[in-house]
Structure 1
Amino acid sequence: MRALLFLLTSVVLHADDWPQWLGPQRDAVWRETGIVESFPEGGPKVLWRVKIGGGYTGPAVVDGRVYLMDRQVAAKESVPGNAFARGIIAGTERVLCLDAATGAKLWEHVYDCTYTMSYSTGPRCTPLVSGGKVWTLGAEGNLLCLDALNGKVLWSHDFKTDYGAKTPMWGFAGHPLLDGQRLICLCGGPGSVAVAFDKDTGKELWRALDAREPGYAPPTMIEAGGVKQLILWHPQSVSSLDPATGKLFWLHPWEVRAGLTVATPRLAGDLLLFSSFYTSSKCFKLDAAKPEAQLLWEGKSFSEKNTDTLHSLISTPFIEDGHIYGVCSYGQLRCLKLDTGARIWETFAATTGDKPVRWANAFLIKHEDRFFLANEHGDLIIAKLTPKSYEEISRVSLLKPTTTDPRRAVVWSHPAFASKCVFMRNDEEIVCASLAK
């Protein structure tokens, strides 16, 4: 009976879910209606707050449940004072399931996980939820498939043990991608930058690509040239694969400094955009008849300060009506032309307020004719982004910044939007606030 109720609830609430990184269609668009146009005086109604541990993991919201991951450091363990240092830090990772209406804990799964990466606050990847299962990837490469109803582990892989992968400098951070029966993960190890697993059994279906390191950009699915293409961006190349077999369609070499392939690739029509912190942006034109691509334009700057097009780090750019909106290396929210990369305007209003700050960030989520922006101060902003300007409509502070890895307190976790609410977390709590009109 419980399983039947779970299925029926899934059918009813599917349209309101936020089941993975960047939402239902993995495109950073929130499609619910009946949402506030500006915040009421005093801010939106906070429905609940729940204490949690540290982590960069954004929440997923499905069938009236919230799924997220956090980290607990073992007693008497010391975290390196320099966040770039790679200590050996004992502790646990946890997969947590909460009731979306009340914040009550429904279940948790905890496992030992010694951290060896830099920026050791907690796990990075947003849980992926579908068909009564939840898949999670921890910062040390622990891939789990759990029953979404009760948290029972159905299968698991350890990327370091199973594939000889080494923990990247900033941990395993490529959000898993579901493609039909295939769960596609950024893994690492010889010949296994990407690995496809059977989503139900965990059986390996294929592995592909060699590289010094896997990078951090999530696997991305597009359709172009008459076929589906799996786009993988690691620090040595942009690659397109056949998602069914892992065979290579096309490849463009690209040496990216410090392994910083992070921002999700973005497709608009036949143009595919990538943006990197040190090495600027590249835009490819995809062939209409076959799976091939030609470089349309690229930035020339290799500097984080003297930038030219867009040097994204954490924030994924958004493309609309031939224009790119994205956050550059020092917090500049910029508008650029998609076909040339030419910059039109920039502002610090949404990120730092008035000055450049290294790695300053805001996440961009489109809703109808405006955007919700969640910045690193814990603010949620409603604003219009057009080729003319940044126009702020409303702003509220929902969380305090707690992560001190970048030598200042920040919130670097992507929010979820579901059931006419926003779900945001820092290293101490997750908050649910109503955004219903």
Structure 2
Amino acid sequence: MIMSSSFAQYSKSLCLISLCIGTLIGSSQVSGDDWSQWRGPNRDAKSQESGLLKSWPADGPPLDWSVSNLGEGYASLVVANRQIHTIGNESGVIYAYGLKETNGEILWKTKIGESSRHAMSTPTVDGEFLYALDPDGVLSCLLVTSGEIQWQIDFISDFGGKLQSGRGYGESPLIDGENLICTPGGDEALIVALNKATGEVVWKTAASNLGAKGKDGAAFSSIVKTQVQDVAMYVQLVGRGLVGVECSSGRLLWSYNDISADIVNIPTPVVQGDLVFSANGYNAGSVLLKLVPTGEQEIDAKEVYRLQGNQFQNHHGGVIALGTAVIGGHGSNNGLPTCVDLETGDILWKRRGPGIGSASVIHADGRFVFRYQNGVVALLDADHAGFTIEGKLQIPGAGGDSWSHPVIANGRLMLREQNSIYVYDVRGTAATNQETKPQLASAFSQEMRQALNLHGVRHSTIGRLHADTSAFDAQQFYRFGRSQTEDSAIEQIPVVRLRTDEQGQFDSAQLTLLQAAEQDFVLDFSSENVAGFQFQQLSLLPRLLGLELQFCTGITPETLATISSIGNLKTIRLVGTDISDESIAALSDLKNLQSLDLEVCESISDQALPVISGFSQLRCLVLKKTAFEKLKITDLGIAHLPKLQNLEVLSLYGNRVSDAGMKSIASLRNLKVLDLSLVGITDDGVNALAPLENLEELYLLYNTGFAGPLLTDQCVETIGTFQKLRHLSLVGAKVTATSVDTLSGLKNLDQLQLQYSRLDSMGLRRLSEALPNTKITK
């Protein structure tokens, strides 16, 4: 351990001061407007502020200020004492920063370590001191006023620290009274308590036999505190699962191994008295534990329920418990807004969200903020019944590893994006705190809309659906199977949600109304438990265009066979359902099917492609995966796609297709939209796509967390021949200034994404001058 000489001289007086200061998390001393530690004042991702915007303007809340002079990293921000603090990696040097809260001016920066790893740990502020952990395990105590280091301790050399993942340390230290609690992950020091004033060891928790799942060492989770009767304890998710440790002594009270993932455990647990809710990624699922006293100072952790990964899992965005509702993003490399009943484990709803990739979540003044990996930030009004989108913004330059958690402090929404910080004013005012959702016209006549309202039937439009979900979505999907393909006409397609009686039957009056409809419409059953007999009632609806069955349960072979009898059906979305390689054959009678969405269907693999290729009229096919499913589409399945010569839209995001598979795709000469993000192809694969001269959108995202296309300048010559391109994503490609002239020839480009590429500022300037009407993101 290293201690500064000046600090050693008055560390004794600091101990006395700390007695007066009290505890931080046990009885939080922070201002309600500050955000002084990971996940906010109480480590539960809830802000204490009020008077915030209930909805955002159409282009998002106003930007107050931004800076782009920090080191790279995923660490979030903390706000206290009119300063913002975080850590970052500048060319292998890890710095802690103190920034002015009002404008982002760097007041100080201090080297706290050296590492090739990403800076991941969010610091903690306690009064006059900042505690920051570098990814290699060096924990520093600094003065918030100057950044002067007071003491340092090394998890590896001092405690024999171990890591479940080689990506480094990512937890945030917890201050509780006089102590700092942290997780070195060592055999004899899994969790330790340090004197926060001196760094001296108070107690250590040995890593007992915690179970077979996972790996030894610290994970990325951070410690939370709870109390059961008179036993105060710290709860942590380590490499071998959940543990409970007595606050006063470090004695291990209980452990639970089954929630561990073999790769890494990330989300911070949620505690409510004697309840511990933990959701984990990589298909680990989630669990509710009840902590039961079994004797004097003894605790037993009893499993209340266990949810599998396909029911509810959380990768690294965290979840929030409000009363008996747990709300967060479901999925690995996914952030599907989901609500779980805390007491029963029932999935109350699950829907596709407005962004792509994992979502980190916070709550303030009756609203949730979901921040997605692709940089979409959305304001949600959510409860047990469902959610609505109350505003969105796009973080400039985001699109790769966008994983920092959002913060709300002093009326500001603060967003870290690698080396940048963006601060938005979200204070509610008479001028801005108004309803901002656009009123989207419906193709239904006024008489039809009034009749549906009279019968209590909810109805919306594809435009509303598109506005509330991720970009590669509704407009593309519903463009086919009808004569009017203009964006405005697609947006006006009605979306109807029928009511059922106690037996699950649809009211005949509703069906009679829809039977007389003169416009195409879609029926939305998303997140419901459906049954085959319900779809028998739908065969007499001549203008039924499609079915929204996203995240429905009850998708059995019998149900699918009944759906297949609706002969006029042209679109069907089965996102996140249990449809499988075997059961998809029950849809074979849908000869007029134009659009099929099988995103994140875990039981769909190569074996489903012979059936899919039999839908000869298919023009839009979504086979997107998260990159973590056991079953994926490979070159074997792709070999069946040449039968679908009408195909115009194809998403293979996150699948296991190689360069060889691109030869099959190249035969689909009518393709206009192709998504190969997180697909492990190289320049040769892209060059094989040269025959696709009709391409208008091409997505080739590479992400360091999940890999993807490994591309260089060698493939850009081929891309340059796609003269109809309007949208091109080369996120993460090793493209340099050498490719500027070729890219400059793509005069029809509306959007060009070059985040994390190797294009320098001069090359970017040349490209911007050559393509003045193109939105270029770098």
- 1:100 matched residue in structure 2: 101
- 1:31 matched residue in structure 2: 48
Matched, 1:416 2:401: no
| Further displaced range: 54-63 or 381-390 | 381-390
What are the residue-to-residue correspondences of 1:285-304 with 2, within 5 Å?
285-287=290-292, 291-299=299-307, 301=308
Matched, 1:61 2:79: yes
- 1:98 maps to a residue whose letter is L
- 1:377 matched residue in structure 2: 374
Where 1:221 maps in the other structure, the secondary structure is strand
Q: Deviations over 1:196-232 (max 9, x none)?
A: 1100100011111327222221111112233211112
In structure 2, what is the Cα distance between the partners aligned to 1:188 and 1:435? 39
- 2:35 maps to a residue whose letter is W
- 2:224 matched residue in structure 1: 220
- 2:119 matched residue in structure 1: 123
Instruction: Select the structure that is richer in strand.
Output: 1
Where 1:364 maps in the other structure, the secondary structure is strand
Matched, 1:44 2:52: no
Q: Deviations over 1:258-288 (max 9, x none)?
A: 2522111112353211112122111111237
Instruction: Select the structure that is richer in helix.
Output: 2
State TM-score, norm by structure 1: 0.83
Q: Tell me by how many angstroms 1:160 deviates.
A: 1.5
Aligned counterpart for 1:134 among listed residues 126, 130, 133: 130
- 2:444 matched residue in structure 1: none
Matched, 1:258 2:262: yes
| Further displaced range: 386-395 or 335-344 | 335-344
Where 2:111 maps in the other structure, the secondary structure is strand
Where 2:31 maps in the other structure, the secondary structure is helix
| Further displaced range: 249-258 or 182-191 | 249-258
Where 1:71 maps in the other structure, the secondary structure is strand
5+ residue gaps, structure 2, are: 1-28, 209-215, 429-778
In structure 2, what is the Cα distance between the partners aligned to 1:335 and 1:323? 6
In structure 1, what is the Cα distance between the partners aligned to 2:421 and 2:195? 32
- 2:31 maps to a residue whose letter is H
- 1:129 maps to a residue whose letter is V
- 1:367 matched residue in structure 2: 364
Q: Tell me by how many angstroms 1:255 deviates.
A: 6.5
- 1:87 matched residue in structure 2: none
State TM-score, norm by structure 2: 0.48
Q: Deviations over 1:305-351 (max 9, x none)?
A: xx12x111101111223222121223322112222222222112233
Change in 2 beyond 3 A, CA 1:395/1:283: same
- 1:28 maps to a residue whose letter is A
Q: Which has the larger radius of gyration?
A: 2
Q: Tell me by how many angstroms 1:298 deviates.
A: 1.1
What are the residue-to-residue correspondences of 1:1-400 with 2, within 5 Å?
14-51=31-68, 52-73=70-91, 91-115=92-116, 120=117, 122-167=118-163, 168-210=165-207, 212-254=216-258, 256-277=260-281, 278-287=283-292, 291-299=299-307, 301=308, 307-308=310-311, 310-329=312-331, 330-352=334-356, 360-400=357-397
- 1:104 maps to a residue whose letter is E
- 2:419 maps to a residue whose letter is E
In structure 2, what is the Cα distance between the partners aligned to 1:37 and 1:322? 22
In structure 2, what is the Cα distance between the partners aligned to 1:428 and 1:178? 27
Where 2:262 maps in the other structure, the secondary structure is helix
**Count of residue pairs the alignment pairs up:** 385
Where 1:14 maps in the other structure, the secondary structure is coil
Q: Tell me by how many angstroms 1:62 deviates.
A: 0.5
Q: Tell me by how many angstroms 1:111 deviates.
A: 4.2
| Further displaced range: 168-177 or 133-142 | 168-177
Where 1:161 maps in the other structure, the secondary structure is helix
In structure 2, what is the Cα distance between the partners aligned to 1:110 and 1:364? 30
Determine what percentage of the aligned residue pairs are the same residue.
24
Which structure has more RCO (C-alpha within 8 Å, separation ≥ 6)?
Answer: 1
The answer as to whether partners of 2:341 and 2:348 remain within 8 angstroms in 1 is: yes
Q: Deviations over 1:128-159 (max 9, x none)?
A: 00110000011111100000110000000111
- 1:34 maps to a residue whose letter is G
In structure 1, what is the Cα distance between the partners aligned to 2:386 and 2:274? 26
The answer as to whether partners of 1:124 and 1:173 remain within 8 angstroms in 2 is: yes
- 1:430 matched residue in structure 2: 421
The answer as to whether partners of 1:333 and 1:351 remain within 8 angstroms in 2 is: no
